[in-house]
Structure 1
């Protein structure tokens, strides 16, 4: 069955907390207490690498190699190619990640789209041609993939 908004939101909370547990100590270690009171949006190159590049690369690698981020793994949901049911490609994963920004811009409407879409796809899923599924009763309930 397709994974709905609630479980996907829960997975994103878990992912955010894990990401903060990794990035905050690293930023504090490198920049010290001054990082938290700095008026600059970006403090330095390590800020960019840790705050932006690390999340991008790790998320894409998790999608490609595990079909899920840690939060999705904990909640037993997977990101799959909407046409084949396979793990998303690197290209799809990059498009999906960029699609997050598209989805959040109009007041999060692209994420809320999951609430009423028949395949529970957000705009980022539609852009990347992915779906998020949830196993049911030790197996996956049949999900329609468009095979061409």
Structure 2
């Protein structure tokens, strides 16, 4: 099967994007757990809070966390922490330019955090030819292999 390319970059596979998202989620979950423990709360309290009833506050906190993470990480990694670890980066679909401005990263990660609460945006990537998720479509971005560029 031929790898899909755009602007000389190989588009990241669905599996590599999933692994990057999983790694990022594990890292941030660990950070949150450590904060809980530092505040004198227990692991049991952490799991109960995660599994508690859904609240509008959850979306707000996720959005704010996504905005902060995106604004801080995109200028350095041209993507999020999972992208960095998996050697991926985010580019503009139309031009192929690196997507590394703080406000752009904040928007993309904020959208990802909020849309993650809905099922369809989370699984959009499964049938997309360019392995884009819904937030990629909205921000007109692609996730590509970082060091693979064929001119």
| TM-score, with length taken from structure 2 | 0.69
Question: Where does 1:27-106 land on structure 2 (aligned, <5 Å)?
Answer: 27-33=36-42, 35-36=45-46, 53-88=64-99, 89-100=101-112, 101-102=114-115, 104-105=117-118
Cα distance 1:68–1:85, how it changes in 2: closer, same or farther (>3 A)?
same
Pairs aligned (count):
132
Contact residue 80 and residue 86 of structure 1 kept, 8 A: yes
Q: Secondary structure at the match of 1:134?
A: strand
Structure 2 residues without counterparts, runs of 5 or longer: 1-9
Q: Which residue of 2 aligns with 1:45?
A: none
Counterparts in 2 of 1:28 and 1:66: CA distance versus 1, 3 Å: same
Contact 2:91 2:144 survives alignment (8 Å): yes
Distance in structure 2 (CA, Å) of the matches to 1:40 and 1:31: 23
Structure 1's consecutive aligned runs of 4 or more residues displaced over 6 angstroms after TM superposition are 38-42
Superposition CA RMSD, Å: 3.0
CA distance in structure 2 between the aligned counterparts of 1:2 and 1:139, rounded to whole angstroms: 9
TM-score by length of 1: 0.70
* CA apart distance, 1:62: 1.4
